[in-house]
Homo-oligomer: A and B are copies of this chain.
Amino acid sequence: MSPAPGGNGAGGRAKRPTMVDVAREAGVALRTVSRVVNDDPTVGPEYVTKVRAAIAALNFRPDERARQLRTGITGTIGAAVRRIAELNPALAAIEQSARASRLTLLASSTDFDASREHDILVSMCRQRLDGIIVEPFAENHAYLQPEIEAGMPMVAMDRPMSGVAVDCVMSDNASGIGMAFHHLHQHGHRRIAYIGDSERVFSGHERASAFRAALVAHGQSVTGLVHPGDITGERVGASLEAALGGPDPATALVTGNMDSTIAVLRRLGPQAASRLAIVGFDEVPLADLLQPALTVVAQDTAAIGRTAVELLRERIADPSRPVQNVVIPVSLTTRGSGEVPAPAVSAQ
C-alpha cells in the first residue's frame, strides 16, 4: 500500500532491492526470504505472510543471475541453428520441448558462417548453459573438445560433427531419396534427374550419393542426371538445362532440399511443373497452393527437435553414457507434382 521506501523517486534510476532489503523490511533473516522465494514448505505461515508483504512493498524480484552463479545451473539450453526467424519446424519443436522441461531456450543464427558458429558456441560455453543443440556447419569442431571434456553437454542435429564425439539426430536421407526415386519410377519415369545442394554439405552429399545409388540399382547410367552444387539461380538453371535438354531429356526431377525446390520452380516458371514430374526433399511453405501442388519427402521435423532435446537431457543427466546416434524416418506426401505421368515413348 505504502510506496516503497529507499529513494524510489520518479525519474532516477532506482536501485533494485535485494533479499537483504526484503529481510530487513520483513524483520527476518536472509535465509527465510530465500526459503519463501523458493516455496520451501518448512517456513511458518506468519513468516511467509510477512515476507510476501515485504516483497510486494519493495517490488522485489530475485536476481536469476546470482542464483545461477550459486547453484551452477542456468536452466537454459542453447540452440545454434542456421536460421531462427525462418520457417524451422525443428526449432519450433525444440522450443516446445524445452518449455515442457522448464528450460529456457537461447537460439542463435549461425547464418551459414563457420566463424559466426564458432563465436556463438564459444559464447554459449562461457555462459555455462546447461547444454547446447547445434546444427553444425563448420567442417571441424575439434576446438570444442575441451568444452565437452569439461562437461558441456552437446547434441548435433541434422548433421554429425567431426572432431568431437557428440550425440546426433538426423533424418534418414538415403531412404528419402530412395522413396522419391521409387515413386517417380512407379509413375513410369525412366529418366529421372537430381538437383540438390553442394556435396560439401553433409546432407547434400548423402542425398546425391543415395540418388546415384538409386540410379545404379535400376541399371541406369549416372551421366548427366546428378547435379549437386550451390543453390543459385544460374547454377540451378544450368543444371536444369543439362538435365532437360539434350537427346534424352529427363522427364522427372528430384530436388534435394527446400531451397533447390524453390529455385527450380522459379527457374521453370509458373505451371512448367505440370509438364515435368517433381518430388522435392523437404516440405515447402504453401506447397498445397502451387500448381500442381508439390509432392515432397517430408522430414519429421517435430521428431527431430523433440529427440534433440531428449538426447540433451539424457546427456545432462548422465554425462558418461555412450554417444547416441538417432536416425528419424521420413515420409512421402503426395500432392500432384510427383504424380505427373511420364510422356508416352514416341520414338527415341
Q: Which of B65, B108, B128, B271 makes the CB contact (< 8 A) with A291?
A: B271
Which residues of chain B come closer than 8 Å to A105, judged between CB atoms?
A: 108
Question: Would you give the shortest CB distance from A60 to chain B, in whole angstroms?
Answer: 10
Asked whether B64 lies within 8 Å of A127 as measured between CB atoms, the reply is yes
Residues of B within 8 A of A92 (CB): 83-86, 109
Q: How far is the CB of A151 from chain B (nearest CB, A)?
A: 5
Please name the residue on chain B nearest to A17 by beta carbon.
Answer: B150
Residues of B within 8 A of A151 (CB): 13-14, 16
- Which one of A27-35, A262-270, A339-347 is at the B interface? A262-270
In angstroms, Cα B106 to Cα A63, docked, is: 17
A104 contacts partner chain B, Cβ-Cβ < 8 Å: yes
Q: How many residues of A contact B (CB 8 A)?
A: 58
| A123 and B147 form a contact (CB under 8 A) | no
B149:A14 contact, CB within 8 angstroms: yes
Cβ-neighbour of A146 out of B12, B59, B126, B289 (below 8 A): B59
* A223 vs chain B, min Cβ distance (A): 31
Check if B150 sits within 8 Å of A59, measured CB to CB: yes
- Per the bound structure, the CA–CA distance linking A289 and B128 in Å amounts to 45
Given A8-B149, A61-B125, A289-B265, A109 contacting B95 (CB threshold 8 A): yes
Besides A63-B128, A289-B290, 20 new A-B residue pairs in contact (Cβ under 8 A), listed by A number:
A14-B151, A16-B150, A59-B146, A59-B150, A64-B128, A66-B69, A69-B69, A84-B91, A84-B92, A85-B87, A85-B95, A86-B86, A86-B87, A87-B87, A95-B109, A105-B108, A262-B286, A270-B291, A285-B285, A290-B290
